[in-house]
Amino acid sequence: MDEEKIREAARLFLEGIGEDPLREGLMDTPGRIVRMCHELFAGYGSDASEHLATRFEAPAGGGVVIERGIRFYSVCEHHLLPFFGQAAVAYLPEGEVVGLSKIARTVEVYARRLQLQERMTAQIADALAGSLSARGVLVVTEAEHLCMSMRGVSKPGSTTLSFAARGEFEADGALRAEAFRLLGL
């Protein structure tokens, strides 16, 4: 990240809205924004395949693996406002499983970038499908977008649901429906 460009952009923004970037409460704001950017956009420096590289032998006769309630925070690329919610992942292992924390880390890699929810959902599904020996992957995200809640249409509490299916979850509607049922959707 170019920290000096971020600091300058923050100073210009403050001036642009009519603030004095040198007043007491704002003097350190450009530096705080730099630190915030390192946190919010850490996904640009991460590769999901690194998290998914360590796998374990799947138990014989194992079925669908589901992890849900994975909280995420992201930033809408259209308005630079946060959206946040939960992701759920289901996959059908083929010989190998991945540690559950690695699934959550994969969600985090893509959430910590400027995003569209639909793209983020697809990126998570593609990363899992590409890195795991899985017969199928299903990713569901549900999020509240502050660009809808606090501005524009102003509908707080409304959420957006998106999903991406790969492999058997894409090809088999009954399997996908069963996974949705298990996810409570």
Catalytic residue numbers, as ranges: 76-79, 117, 145, 147
**C-alpha closest to that of 168 among 91, 87, 58, 107:** 91
Residue the block writes with tokens 């946190």: 39
Sequence-ordered strand ranges (E) for 19-158: 55-57, 65-76, 82-93, 96-98, 114-115, 134-145
Cα–Cα distances in angstroms (integers) from residue 81 to residues 29, 76, 148, in the given order: 17, 5, 10
